[in-house]
Structure 1
Amino acid sequence: MSRSHDLEETLANVTELVAKRLDADVCSIYTTDADQRELTLSSTIGLDSEAVGKVTMRVGEGLVGVTAERGEPIALEHARSDPLYRYFPETGEERFESFLAAPLIVQGAVIGVIAIQTAEARRFDEPDVELLKTCASLLAPVVVNAQLLALMSTSDERERGDVVSRIAVSDAVRSRQTKIRTRRSEHNVTLRGLATARGVAIGPIFRMDKPVDFGRIVYQAKADVAEEHADFRAAMTEARREIAEMRDVVRDRFGPEFAAVFHAQMQILEDKGFLLNVTQAIDETHNAREALNTVLDSYRKTFEQIEDPYFRERGTDIADVGQRVMEKLLGVRDHVEPMQHGSVVVVDQLLPAIFAQLEMDNVSAIIAEHGGQTSHGVIFARTLEIPTVTGAAGLLEEAREGESAIVDGATGTIYLSPDDALTREFEKAQHRHEVAVEHLDAMRERPAETLDGRRVKLSANAGLLADLRLVEKHGAEGVGLFRTELLALAHRGFPSEEEQEQLYQRVVEFLDPLPVTLRTLDLGGDKGIPNIGVDDEENPQLGCRSIRLTLENRHAFRAQLRAILRASTLGNLRLLLPMIGSLSELREAKAVIDEVRLELDREGSAFDRDLQVGIMIEVPSAAITARVLAAECDFFSIGTNDLTQYTLAVDRGNERVAHLYDSLHPAVLQLIHMTVRAGMEARIPVSVCGEMATNPLSVPILIGLGIGELSGTPAAVPVMKEIIRALDAGAVEADARAALVARTPAEVHAIAASRLREAGLVEHPDIGGWLLQLLDEALAPA
């Protein structure tokens, strides 16, 4: 399907594939018009091909129309006897008895329907329905891209404008806030952005934003127009090769889950409409460069009218691909010049392609004029532990090639051309940090054990294959939380079972025999993506998110469970269900797990029959009823980020109330205490996997409450270990009892800070200075 991208061929390939996969006599695809009021038969195998493009129906008319109207599948063993059945004689469908259809949904809107029919009566079971729904979810974004590319293929400007005006009906793109920047001076030019990835770096500026001025490149068109066509085709081929190489590099470095970001660009280069438009323009102008410019400019103008961010991004993809093709046509070689070791890379946006283009061993930091803290590129940088600042307004205007720069990723501060005094100050800080990391990592084999012999397990949180090397580097004892939703975020929708199984298999094999805890998809809330049907919720954090979302999307949930179970054969895998709020939710999720186990059994697929199933305690109702829940699961993992947010009714992303967010609030500690007691009574392990696990002030309190495992960022593991090794279990148990009766978070902070000081940690040669600063800030009056 990914290799044919004009709309007609794409749909034809899909219908043939689905018909074979589901053993159906008919597979048809119906697409909506721009107003989403009518459906048209756009492709079929099994019905009369003459009906394609001619048979139309209103949304709500007939079985196909009702599928679109309801936005959910319809399965009928005897379709013709159903009162909703509508006969279209042009299709020749009177000989088909059974019917199964699923909607194609993008951005919460139905853009079409895929339907199968059989001549013999057939009762479609749940796996059939789920398979068709999976096909529909994978097909929908492909159809959207193909439709947009088909739109570009028309030469009728009025038609383009009409379609664009209909697309541009969603919320406008929010304008960025402009930041005030200082005027350029010769030294200590200070820029501030977002603290994106921690660390300090000092090095020369290396600018990647230097655009090629195509207007200054001499291009002599060939006398023979056939040669112009040949040059354009060669440029397309070379661009495809280059993007494929970048995709492969990213796959090797970061895993297959993020190679998906290059699929859209490959789809454009393989689109016949794009090729046809340029080919026709070459025939008219006899100049490949002029023809490509004309087509790209036309595309750009069209997409600039679209306000919806999802669709506007397709225009960005096309512009990026067009730039690449133009470079190949004009013979512009890869203009990323060799960089010095320790360079500070300056970019406009932190894009994934950067990590394929650069020798990352020479990069000491990355700074970007635009962008936030959650993009794919940012995740890559954080995974590689590269100090990063994004959203630094004025950077591209101020930064000079080769000048020295200091990047403080912890504060989001950039200093250009720092003077000697400032450089010496940061060189000392950088050296202390590097020495401390080396010392701590060198002692990674030492156990995390208190002075009186209590053992605490230290695990790492991860979400990428590249994270796994950090697990070993920093001495973690496994992965206490693997976030599977990063794959879905990369795909902008639910990933396929096969892709998930490949990823999970690689994770467990890499870490074997260390344990891995895989959390099922935790989407919705602040991790909203298109194509999952939860757009525009009034209060997404309290809406259809996490386990609620997956239970509503059974086909996606079952696909993930099948992938997890099939990857569990080594016996080092555990399954974690997020945001369980009640016993009924737990039982419903476990029932689906049992169904999938039986299904795999019938297929003869191998899996770990003793796979442990645990739940995250991250809503107050789960903590309060922990005794009930403990009787029906194998372990607890306390997600303190959401537990704190829900307990205190504080959105930590809201600047006006973020100061009220504190995981050491006595109310949060009471809920953790209740959870630990329930776990002890049921004899199941209890861990903490939120940010609280790596907060030095929290460590003595959590150990005192009886937490047996802490899971956090890999780089924090050595620091957590040093703190634990300086504590006495009996003393911190007394601290925890005092914290439970404290009246304010400040009182808890004081208890924890006093313990860390008494343990001598502020004199620790590696973490003492940093810890002292943290304690002073924690105890400072508000």
Structure 2
Amino acid sequence: MTDRHQTDSRQLLGRLREVMAEEATGQTRLDQITQLIACEMNTEVCSIYLFRDSETLELCATEGLKAEAVHQTRMRLGEGLVGRVARTGKAVNTADAPKEHGFRYMPETGEEIYSSFAGFPIQRLGEKLGVLVVQSKTARQYSEEEVYALEVVAMVLAEMTELGVFVGEGAALSARHKNPVAFRGATGQEGTAEGHVWLHEPRVVVTNPIADDPVRETERLREAVDSLRVSVDQMLEGVAGADAEHREVLEAYRMFANSRGWLKRMEEDIAVGLSAEAAVEKEQSIARARMETASDSYLRERLHDLDDLSNRLLRILTGQGKETGAEMPVDPILVARNIGPAELLDYGRLLRGVVLEEGSVGSHAAIVARSLAIPLVIHAERITTEALNGDPIIVDGDAGVVHLRPEDTIVTAFRDKIAMREEAQERYASIRDTPAVTPCGRRIALTMNAGLMADLPSLEGSGAEGVGLFRTELQFLIRNKMPTRTELAALYSRVLDSAGGRRVVFRTLDIGSDKVLSYMKPTDEPNPALGWRAIRVGLDKPGVMRMQLQALIRAAKGRPLTVMFPFVAQYDEYRAALAEVDKAMDRERILGHPLPESLEVGAMLETPSLAFAPTQFFRDVDFLSIGGNDLKQFFFAADRENERVRRRYDTLNVSFLTFLENIVERCRETGTPLSFCGEDAGRPVEAICLAAIGLDALSMRPASIGPVKSLLIRTNLAELREVIHKAREEGHQSVRPAVMEWLKTQG
């Protein structure tokens, strides 16, 4: 770009800043901006379209089109050339608009006399805000210099929109970050919480998008980049012994931080009148737009690295971020795009709830949220762009809904719901020490799921009879290197100490699928849920399995020990795992370490194939635990991470219950102890149905034991079994309607 064009662009931005400095309503500012741009760019039309909602654009100001079309002309996202620019986030520059793909003529605007069209997305860090358009009668494409200047102006308009300068009487926009907003996501962990937003990565607000001293801004940028490079070098020095993949990520950081092209582009942005912060955001927005359209996973990851580095650079430039001393509210609800298990554990029980834009029901964060007994909503799209630290927020983990800055009626309704839940908890506390014995005389063992030492206090408070599932992978997931045998033995020993003699079922390392260790080479699999995971990893990498088994044996210190292998698909896998247990026992005996007083070795039945294993398998295994979450997704061929299908199939489906009954019958014939572990075990209606078809042990999150026990001790399982069988004989797809109707008759 020539010095003359840089000067012209600087003058345009300088005049734009003067307009912003004047006292005026939001609409007046918009009108002045379109007039200014049309004049400075020597074009007949300049229009600004802004989003009214996520799918609708509205003409909010124009110079050149019919004035009466303002606030009347609207179009859907993707409709016409304007909608195309908004949807794709890419500029359109054409000399003959009517011949352009997707063109739509808006007769009320009077635009039929204009041939050329150039449209530019008004967007901030991937957030679509609107479209800036220039048009002229002459059939021409706008020059490279003009396009660049208009891209810079569009970026500045996005910053001004974020700052709320277009808000006011007659304006197109209502105040940002002020109105109530509801986000419909998915349930990661049930429960309800009210509190105030605490952003894991606080938004960086650029208050000075335009600067009049490019020399000073360039100096500020270079100083910040130098500081960034030093911090990246320090990170690399801190992981000198880390694995190649971890270092590869940081090396990519270093590559971008030292990229002359990146720095040069930002310096060019400053030369035309942007501040250092705005220049960083402009390049970051371009990277975000590329991320959305990139099909290559490697490229997406590298663009994500650049996005993260840009955030770091913005925090250095603005002084905003975690290190600014902002105080966490007393009732924090964490809001983030995503978060790792170690970071979530750092917050610990301070949090009332968690809301993520990404995440999954089986993610590390979801597992930790369950351990901390805090509600979690995932897939709350765009909440990090809307929420500000301190905003009031309500999380409904039961429905997967988040209310940001909720209205009074919503607050009242949720407080009533929370009060009812607390009242119910008091009722459950009164039966904490009462065995779960049904009116028909069946005794159901209720145990809890755990994965952290922080879970163990719930053993006493919940009334659980033991730990039906202790997830050992969490100790591997929250570290950046493999834990040692000694560290694991100490942890497992503390778990047994805390259990106070109650049975603890330790599930061996269940990694793979969505649980990937940062220090283990990832495997690129088309369907990881059906891939190299759990016992398959353990048998292929026996060193890790042996180390964990030895740690468990040493932790027992002569006490009873119960071990369970996950994701067993066939008898041979169990026999191979059992052989590893025998080897570990022999080694510990030779080393002179005390052996467990008794040893139970079981398997999780999570694959339909294991239900049809040879009878000898059922005789050999000491116990079986049905892993309901995985088994259900494989039975129905419905990915539990896919919201389109995971709620489509009911646990109380007749086919699934019949399948479970067959497992119950096989275990009864061989005298094999059987339990059910998973989310459905903690849902009272599902729990009583599982008990009715013959399951005598259920393992669930601690908070579910009270509600499940409360319903069990009031339910005649023999009568419920008849209701289930009758619904099946009558050809119903699910027994749920019949069960719910029967429960109503029981009061």
Q: Does 1:511 align with 2:503?
A: no
C-alpha distance in 1 between matches for 2:346 and 2:688: 44
What SS class does the counterpart of residue 196 from structure 1 fall into? strand
Instruction: Give the counterpart of 2:400 among 407, 412, 428.
Output: 412
**What is the aligned partner in structure 1 of residue 703 from structure 2?**
715
1:567, 1:607 within 8 Å by CA — same for their partners in 2? no
**What is the aligned partner in structure 1 of residue 485 from structure 2?**
497
C-alpha distance in 2 between matches for 1:533 and 1:400: 37
User: Offset at 1:757?
Assistant: 2.5
**What is the aligned partner in structure 2 of residue 726 from structure 1?**
714
User: Offset at 1:642?
Assistant: 2.7
Q: Does 1:189 align with 2:181?
A: yes
Q: Does 1:523 align with 2:515?
A: no
1:203, 1:406 within 8 Å by CA — same for their partners in 2? yes
**What is the aligned partner in structure 1 of residue 34 from structure 2?**
none
Q: Does 1:581 align with 2:573?
A: no
C-alpha distance in 2 between matches for 1:402 and 1:654: 32
C-alpha distance in 2 between matches for 1:742 and 1:548: 42
2:619, 2:672 within 8 Å by CA — same for their partners in 1? no
**What is the aligned partner in structure 2 of residue 476 from structure 1?**
464
Q: How many positions carry a matched residue from both structures?
A: 539
For residues 14-29 of structure 1, the aligned pairs below 5 Å read none
**What is the aligned partner in structure 2 of residue 342 from structure 1?**
331
Structure 2 gaps of 5+ residues are 1-124, 131-171, 210-222, 260-275
**What is the aligned partner in structure 1 of residue 73 from structure 2?**
none
For residues 28-47 of structure 1, the aligned pairs below 5 Å read none
C-alpha distance in 2 between matches for 1:699 and 1:205: 35
What CA deviation, in whole Å up to 9, does each residue of 1:19-63 have, x standing for no partner? xxxxxxxxxxxxxxxxxxxxxxxxxxxxxxxxxxxxxxxxxxxxx
User: Offset at 1:598?
Assistant: 0.8
AA paired with 1:559?
Answer: M
**What is the aligned partner in structure 2 of residue 698 from structure 1?**
686
AA paired with 1:195?
Answer: T
Assess, with a 3 A threshold, how the Cα gap between structure 1 residues 475 and 335 changes in structure 2: closer, same or farther.
farther
**What is the aligned partner in structure 2 of residue 617 from structure 1?**
605
AA paired with 1:544?
Answer: W
User: Offset at 1:632?
Assistant: 0.6
**What is the aligned partner in structure 1 of residue 620 from structure 2?**
632
AA paired with 1:338?
Answer: E
What CA deviation, in whole Å up to 9, does each residue of 1:86-130 have, x standing for no partner? xxxxxxxxxxxxxxxxxxxxxxxxxxxxxxxxxxxxxxxxxxxxx
1:662, 1:745 within 8 Å by CA — same for their partners in 2? no
**What is the aligned partner in structure 2 of residue 753 from structure 1?**
740
Q: Does 1:557 align with 2:549?
A: no
What SS class does the counterpart of residue 697 from structure 1 fall into? helix
Assess, with a 3 A threshold, how the Cα gap between structure 1 residues 557 and 396 changes in structure 2: closer, same or farther.
closer
What SS class does the counterpart of residue 193 from structure 2 fall into? strand
Q: Does 1:603 align with 2:591?
A: yes
**What is the aligned partner in structure 2 of residue 689 from structure 1?**
677
User: Offset at 1:515?
Assistant: 1.1
Structure 1 gaps of 5+ residues are 1-174, 217-227, 245-259, 278-289, 761-782
Q: TM-score, normalised by structure 2?
A: 0.60
What SS class does the counterpart of residue 580 from structure 1 fall into? coil
AA paired with 1:188?
Answer: P
What SS class does the counterpart of residue 593 from structure 2 fall into? coil
AA paired with 1:190?
Answer: A
Assess, with a 3 A threshold, how the Cα gap between structure 1 residues 360 and 211 changes in structure 2: closer, same or farther.
farther
What CA deviation, in whole Å up to 9, does each residue of 1:296-338 have, x standing for no partner? x9xxx9xx999637788887888888899x69x9999943433
Which stretch shifts more, 195-204 or 449-458? 195-204
User: Offset at 1:570?
Assistant: 5.3
AA paired with 1:192?
Answer: R
Assess, with a 3 A threshold, how the Cα gap between structure 1 residues 590 and 339 changes in structure 2: closer, same or farther.
closer
Which stretch shifts more, 692-701 or 650-659? 650-659
C-alpha distance in 1 between matches for 2:588 and 2:491: 19
What SS class does the counterpart of residue 548 from structure 1 fall into? helix
AA paired with 2:449?
Answer: N
**What is the aligned partner in structure 2 of residue 674 from structure 1?**
662
Cα-Cα RMSD: 5.1
Assess, with a 3 A threshold, how the Cα gap between structure 1 residues 399 and 536 changes in structure 2: closer, same or farther.
closer
C-alpha distance in 2 between matches for 1:358 and 1:490: 13
User: Offset at 1:555?
Assistant: 1.4
User: Offset at 1:553?
Assistant: 1.5
2:364, 2:515 within 8 Å by CA — same for their partners in 1? no
Which stretch shifts more, 588-597 or 348-357? 348-357
C-alpha distance in 1 between matches for 2:542 and 2:402: 47
C-alpha distance in 2 between matches for 1:689 and 1:331: 45
Larger radius of gyration: 2
C-alpha distance in 2 between matches for 1:476 and 1:441: 12
